[in-house]
Homo-oligomer: A and B are copies of this chain.
């Protein structure tokens, strides 16, 4: 009987293959139309092998997307909020410019109202955003941004601006454009535009 370690070594490439096949299928047909059978075929394994580890489609897709998301967002800490945010947005732009990145985001957007997909994506978004949001929070702590700055909103505006250009203007933002977005949002936030309790009058 093989040792635990030997089984892991034998198991990992299989897991990798199945999760890769899941991401490719997701990018190709989206969540609603994804079939575990097709994923198994694509990975060259029996569908019971897939079901044994991930009993439902949501489990399988969740594992695949989490794995992709885990390797995706840095938590820059160069000491300057501006250069940290430029680094993070550059990374997001690069990720969203790959064929698979685009397909995944389009899937999220197209099927975001499905409660299963929405719950999964919320969880992933929160874990992915924790690094960048900590970066903004540090800037508030050291006085680069006013106390009371709404960290989540500031980060949402940076990412939303980038996504808008990519998905509505079909423009891949240049490094220059990214710096422009960061400058505008941070200057606005410096002036207190992003405070939580600002009156809406």
Give chain A's interface residues, CB within 8 Å of chain B. 30, 102, 106-113, 118, 121-122, 125, 150, 153-154, 156-157, 159-165, 167-170, 174-181, 183-195, 198, 200-201
Pair A193/B200 contact, Cβ less than 8 Å: no
Contact A161 B170 (CB under 8 A): no
Given A106-B112, A156-B161, 19 further pairs, Cβ under 8 A: A106-B111, A107-B110, A108-B168, A110-B110, A121-B168, A150-B180, A153-B180, A156-B164, A157-B161, A157-B185, A159-B164, A160-B160, A160-B164, A163-B168, A179-B200, A180-B193, A186-B193, A187-B188, A191-B191
Complex CA–CA separation, A164 to B121 (angstroms): 13
Interface class of chain A by DSSP: helix
State how many angstroms separate the Cβ of A133 from the closest Cβ of chain B.
13
Contact assessment for B118 and A170 in the assembled complex, using a CB-CB cutoff below 8 Å: yes
Chain B residues in 8 Å Cβ range of A161: 156-157, 160-161
A187 lies within 8 A of B179 (CB): no
A-B contact pairs, 11 of them (CB 8 A): A107-B110, A153-B177, A157-B161, A159-B168, A160-B162, A174-B200, A180-B193, A180-B195, A187-B192, A188-B191, A191-B191
- Please give me the residue from chain B that is nearest to A189 by CB atom: B184
